[in-house]
Amino acid sequence: MRDQSSTVSRRSLFAGAATVGAVAAASSVLPSVVKNHVPTASPSLPKPERGGGYSLSEHVQQYYKTTRI
């Protein structure tokens, strides 16, 4: 006969173990990814005196090149 006092099924036990394993694997890889990816700061431009703020940066020029037909 089965013991009715246990509410944890074998399926949920294996699913939990798989989840813990996936989290452990991801957390062991994550620090090396964060250390290797260091964003570079772009030089800040002075704010315009009369408002606006649009500038034709390299990023915007690259976007415009990709939209040409």
Domain boundaries, the chain: 8-36
What would the mean pLDDT of 14-31 be, rounded to a whole number?
84
Beta carbons of 29 and 23 less than 8 angstroms apart: no
Higher pLDDT, 12 or 47: 12
Higher pLDDT, 12 or 43: 12
Beta carbons of 45 and 55 less than 8 angstroms apart: yes
9 torsion bin: left (phi>0), alpha (psi -120 to 50), beta (else):
beta
Say yes or no to pLDDT of 64 above 70: yes
